[in-house]
Amino acid sequence: MSAELRVTLLQHTPDPDRAVAIAGRLCYAPVSAADLQREMGADDVARLVRLLVRSGHHSALEHASVSFAVDGVSRALTHQLVRHRVASYNQQSQRYVSFGAGDSFIVPPSVSADSEAEAVFLEAMEHARHAYDRLVELGLAEGRTRESVQEDARFVLPNAAETKIVVTMNARELRHFFRLRCCNRAQWEIRALAWEMRGMVRELAPNLFEGSGPGCLYGSCAEGKMTCGKPYRREDVDGPAAEGA
């Protein structure tokens, strides 16, 4: 049984564009941030956020953050995700939460597209599930606590085991995450997550995340000789209005 990616925006800095604009403007203002909060209009905010992003003055972007609930992903994905260290994570524990009969495995599309490959994959998953269940059964029969049994039994679970994680990133790290993980060379599962998150934050803070995503959307590919040769087009990922924007 395969799970599907689900991303929920849990919470975010109220008016992220404004928070970033105020922080950036304060460096050059003779007044307080509270004064700027009252005085800066929407046009001022949009103009300053775009300037901060274009000029590379990204420290101000760290004052806006977004938290996501991510469900229906594999441990293979979260192993990659937590490499983005300028972020906060809380993941469902395999030590305290039993991997039961109703829990899922993530099946790669390339595997599910081939019936023979899928059969091999699912057989391996069922062997892993059976081994896990049997180890838990044997451990409990010895009188051990469920926690101690599960923390050892989880060693037989594969990277495909479905998991859940809460992720909080500031806007600066989100832009970095999108640049790397929206790229065609990123692994398919984390790439799907990155594009989903990007779509959410672009609606939330359009000025702050304008120009976010892989380099091929806005110019040359940063991968050099490792380029995939299949650049994204802005009109394909952001709609017809993005063409020539």
Confidence class for position 216, pLDDT limits 50, 70, 90: confident
Give alpha helix (H) positions in 64-187. 75-81, 109-112, 115-141, 146-153, 171-181
Residues tagged active-site: 181
The whole-number pLDDT of residue 2 equals: 65
Q: For the segment 137-167, what is each residue's pLDDT rounded down to a tens digit?
A: 999 999 999 999 999 999 999 999 999 999 9
CATH of 6-91+163-242, one of 3.20.20.70, 3.30.1360.170, 3.40.50.261, 3.30.1520.10: 3.30.1360.170
Tell me the domain boundaries of the chain: 6-91+163-242, 109-160
- pTM comes to 0.90
The mean-pLDDT minimum among 38-52, 114-128, 225-239 falls in: 225-239
Token pair listed for 91: 């993941």
The residues, any chain, with a CB within 8 Å of residue 126's CB and separated by 6 or more, are: none
The whole-number pLDDT of residue 22 equals: 87
Q: For the segment 69-118, what is each residue's pLDDT rounded down to a tens digit?
A: 999 999 999 999 999 999 999 999 999 999 986 778 999 999 999 999 99
The whole-number pLDDT of residue 243 equals: 47
